[in-house]
Amino acid sequence: MSISIRPGRPMDASDAARAREHQQALRAELPLVREAAHSWRIGLGGLLLALVGFSLIRGPSEVDKVEPPWNVVIGCLLLVSLATGAYGAYRLLSAHNGRPRTRPVDRRTSASTQNHLLALTALKDLRHGIIATFLCTVFLVAAVGTTWYGPEKAKPKLLVRTTTGAVLCGDGATGDGRRLTLKTKPGRVGVPLSDVLVVETVEKCP
Amino acid sequence: MSLVPYKEIHQNEYAEEAAQRFTFIRLGSGTAELHGPCPRCGHAIRVPVVDGVYKTFWPRRRNSAGPTPPSGNVRTEDVICTCQEEHPGRQEGQFGCGAFWSLEITTS
């Protein structure tokens, strides 16, 4: 790549003032980015704390009430939410405090330029941190929504075998001393108790 | 070298001399530097040449107050002396010796 430098346009005092402001903006850039990262960190941290603090998901007992495979989906959503939250926190902390590592000594470039490059890195961290934290919130809300509104796990069913060889399966069993009535898929079915051979509970009707 | 007093001044010769003696160093991410001696005070200076400067809370880079680079590979950079040396008469918040000039940088 070839680079050529030639004299530019004539300048006046206002151009010089703009150039000076530009230099001053460069010198103030890194503290501004760090300050912005601090504000975002506090704001997003508060948002997540509020969400988690509401105890939206009380633990495995609540997740277990959801029909498979939705309980697995909730587990995955929570895991991804945790991962994106941790990543977002790391990027936001890096944006505010800098990356946790030393930088090689650079005698070639000016302090302003080095700070500008650091500001660019911090800005990138800030952008990624914000996106990751919002994603964490989205996954968390999705997990909570699935827990609250997902299909409930089916209750155990009653399986009745009769002496005639018939098999009835359903729930909501009622009896009047002589007949056992079951709520089955086709409808309510009654069986004389004297014909009942076996009654057992099953997870699912065959 | 005797210290020249601080004075905001522009002369065509500054740009001509700087064009001959300055080198342009690319540093990546829309960042480069001009290295060379100030045509007025003679002190070595390193002037950042950047595409944008962060100014607002919104997390994206905004263009600085500097001139917008023209399309293609030519950009005009307004340069002021940014030397760290003392110059009599310089007020707080000012820097360099006060000299300013403009350069046209072409990359191909």
pLDDT digits (tens, 9 = 90+) for A19-34: 989 999 999 999 999 9
* Under 8 Å between Cβ of A154 and A106: no
pLDDT reported for residue B1: 54
pLDDT reported for residue A45: 87
Provide the edge-to-edge strand list for the sheet that holds A3-7.
A3-7, B100-107, B74-80
pLDDT reported for residue A148: 85
| Tens digits of pLDDT across chain B (108 residues) | 568 899 999 998 999 999 999 999 988 778 899 999 999 999 999 999 998 888 876 545 454 444 444 445 888 899 999 998 999 999 888 889 999 999 999 887
pLDDT reported for residue A190: 85
Q: Give the mean model confidence (pLDDT) for residues A164-174.
A: 83
Do the bridges between strand B44-50 and strand B31-37 make them parallel or antiparallel, or are there none, so unpaired? Answer: antiparallel
Residue B80 and residue A40: Cβ atoms within 8 Å?
A: no
Residue A90, pLDDT > 50, answer: yes
Residue A9 and residue B76: Cβ atoms within 8 Å?
A: yes
Domain with CATH 2.30.30.100 in chain A: 157-202
CATH class of A157-202: mainly beta
pLDDT digits (tens, 9 = 90+) for A102-123: 878 888 888 889 999 999 999 9
- Whether chain B has a CB inside 8 Å of the CB on A22: the answer is yes
Q: How confident is the model at residue A56 (pLDDT cuts 50, 70, 90)?
A: low
pLDDT digits (tens, 9 = 90+) for A176-189: 888 888 888 888 88
pLDDT reported for residue A171: 80
Q: Which residues of B touch A130 (CB under 8 A)?
A: 59
Axis-axis angle for helices A13-53, A70-97 (nearest 10) = 140
Residue A62, pLDDT > 50, answer: yes
The closest alpha carbon to A32, from A102, A101, A104, A116, belongs to A116
Q: Which residues of A touch B80 (CB under 8 A)?
A: 16, 19-20, 23
pLDDT reported for residue A66: 83
**Residue A134, min C-alpha distance to chain B (Å):** 14
The closest alpha carbon to B22, from B108, B104, B93, belongs to B104
CB atoms within 10 A of CB A54: 9
Chain centre distance of CA A162: 51
Residue type, A86: A
Let me know how many helices (H) and strands (E) chain A has, helices first. Answer: 4, 6
Residue A83, pLDDT > 90, answer: yes
Residue B106 and residue A4: Cβ atoms within 8 Å?
A: yes
pLDDT reported for residue A55: 58
Largest CA-CA distance found in chain B, in angstroms, rounded: 46
* Under 8 Å between Cβ of B24 and B79: no
pLDDT reported for residue B16: 93
Q: For residues A130 and A36, what is the distance between their CA atoms, to the nearest angstrom?
A: 11
* Under 8 Å between Cβ of B87 and B96: yes
pLDDT reported for residue B72: 54
